[in-house]
Amino acid sequence: MERGARRVYAAARRPETVDLPGVVPVRLDVTDEESVRAAAAVAGDVTILINNAGISRFTNLVSGDPAEIRAEMDTNFWGTLAVVRAFAPVLVAGGGGAILNVLSAQSWHAYPGTNGYHAAKAAQWALTNGVRTELAERGTVVTGLHLGAIDTDFSAGYDGPKGDPAAVARAGLDGIEAGAAEVLADAWSAHVKRSLAGDPERLQAEILGGAV
């Protein structure tokens, strides 16, 4: 509301849990296409779409349960794509609008025990880049927001340093306002992005050494 929004929708599988003052709760399960279509019909005046749904089942690719890996892909990749496809006509009808996909520094690096998540987030990053090219001619700005661990329920089991969710949210909104293709919300994401130009074994050695 601080940036002039007339209405803010907060989507959740259990909308009764949404207790943010001033927002409109909407039922949404990104893995259920009927639910996605219904949400797009309810929120037909949206001009900014933020895709923040994500799960990690802490799986490895070789030894992990394939069902858990599929669940990660279903939410992080297929769920994001379903929401983008449903809301793209809404955004275009409103003049173009913007999409912000919440990604991860793990879009770019592997880590033992979370490689199913890594693969799903890498796919979501590719999805973001592809959607950006497809929607550019329709006037829709598509921004990818990369971040490390932040202090939310998602990272409750992580013992390392965590960023401020409010700061990350501001960075994402600033990126949308600037029409940026990509936002690096913290120093760790910026470091990982820079490392992509080097030998991947160096970054992997650093990560396995605990510098995450």
Residue 169 identity (one-letter amino acid): A
Active site (annotated) includes residue 121: yes
Residues in the chain: 212
Active site (annotated) includes residue 193: no
How many CB atoms are closer than 10 A to CB 111?
A: 15
Pair 126, 84: CB distance under 8 Å: no
Residue 78 identity (one-letter amino acid): W
Q: Distance between CA atoms of 77 and 122, rounded to whole angstroms?
A: 9
Residue 92 identity (one-letter amino acid): V
- Catalytically annotated residue among 9, 111, 117, 158: 117
- Catalytically annotated residue among 111, 121, 158, 162: 121
How is residue 22 written in tokens?
Answer: 């001033």
Q: Distance between CA atoms of 64 and 165, rounded to whole angstroms?
A: 30
Residues known to be catalytic: 117, 121
